[in-house]
Amino acid sequence: MSSGCVKPHTSPEVEQPQPQWREGSFRRILVAFDGSENSWKALRMGISLAWQHDSELWALSVEEGLPRFPAIAGEVQGEKEREDHYYGELHNQAKELADRRGVQLNCAIVPGRTVDTITHYARQGNFDLIVIGGARPGLWHAFLGTSSRVSRQASRSVMVVR
């Protein structure tokens, strides 16, 4: 047989075996992402884990600062557009980072309270792992910080990255 020929009973379109999910693997990973230094660390960890586990990766940004009692009807819309633009730019940068590692990053921007929105989104999306950046250590942040509150409230595994 010549060196350029296909062996009998084989095809160049042979499907690659699908990964076998086992305990300790993550199929769906959610990264809480607000553009802070610690959320970038969490994103890099999420990208690495998604690459290692061949997982689906999502970045969730929560628009918590929207006015709840607007004085002017257009105030909420204007603030939402500013936050959408801000998070949209962050997500573009995050997708470029993930692409360089060969990982596809899906992004979502959701209004709400940060802790409640992250835990609800993770539960509704059936994520296996939430990755979140941790605040500096200390007693105050241990009880009141977002990462601590997410880890206490979530029904999913939570990785806090510092």
DSSP string for residues in the chain: --TTSPPTT--TTPPPPPPPP-TT--SEEEEE--SSHHHHHHHHHHHHHHHHHT-EEEEEEEE--S-SS-SSHHHHHHHHHHHHHHHHHHHHHHHHHHHHTT--EEEEEEES-HHHHHHHHHHHTT-SEEEEEPPPPSHHHHHHSHHHHHHHH-SSEEEEE-
Question: Does 116 fall in a domain?
Answer: yes
The model's pTM: 0.77
Question: Does 9 fall in a domain?
Answer: no
Beta-bridged to residue 127, according to DSSP, are none
Question: Does 14 fall in a domain?
Answer: no
Q: Residue 134: what pLDDT?
A: 86
Give the domain CATH number at 75.
3.40.50.620
Q: Which domain holds residue 60?
A: 28-161
Question: Does 139 fall in a domain?
Answer: yes
Quote the number of domains for the chain: 1
Q: Residue 136: what pLDDT?
A: 59
144 to 2, 90, 110: CA distances (angstroms): 69, 26, 22
Give the neighbor-by-neighbor strand order of the sheet with 56-63. Answer: 105-111, 56-63, 28-32, 129-133, 157-161
Q: Residue 56: what pLDDT?
A: 97
Question: Does 15 fall in a domain?
Answer: no
Question: Does 112 fall in a domain?
Answer: yes
Mean pLDDT, consecutive 10-residue stretches, the chain (162 aa), reads: 41 47 79 95 97 96 72 68 93 98 97 93 95 70 71 89 89
Question: Does 22 fall in a domain?
Answer: no
